[in-house]
Amino acid sequence: MLLGTHTPRLDDKGRVVLPAKFREELAAGIVLTKGQDRCVVLWPAAEFEKYAARLNEASRSNAAVRSYLRVLFSGAFDQIPDKQGRIGLPHQLRDYAGLDRDVVVAGNGSTAEIWDETAWQQYLASQEETFSELGEEVVPGLF
């Protein structure tokens, strides 16, 4: 699982060093996509393939499905981390998420998200108050 909050920096070439604890799980390859909250989602390649297979079962006669698939797949980039655990963040994704220098890599279970550090802090501040109230709505019957 990809867990925790890490604060690497982008280098001058737009690369970020992945957290050491993520590297083994991501060594076989990753896929980077736009996240729905103006972040970059980092998928282990195998997880993205499973997700893509489920998405491809949706009816393409539905305009919302077509739109979602177009945005997701056209903005996706695959790569393999280098020996130092670095990945390059394509300029399209850096622009989309407002990534400059200080970033946060936040584990999200089967994925991780890469956020601008200020945007991440603002997001957390806006969400933490209701976090404890969401349990029943997010996972009915579990709590």
CATH code of the domain covering residue 116: 3.40.1550.20
**Residues ≥6 apart with Cβ < 8 Å to 12:** none
State the residue range of the domain holding 101: 5-138
Could you tell me if residue 143 is inside a domain? no
pTM: 0.90
Q: What are the tens digits of pLDDT across the range 79-123?
A: 999 999 999 999 999 999 999 999 999 999 999 999 999 999 999
- Closest of 93, 2, 111, 77 to residue 40, by C-alpha: 93
- Asked if 77 and 90 count as a contact pair (C-beta separation under 8 A), the reply is yes
Could you tell me if residue 66 is inside a domain? yes
What is the per-residue pLDDT for 49?
97
Number of structural domains the chain divides into: 1
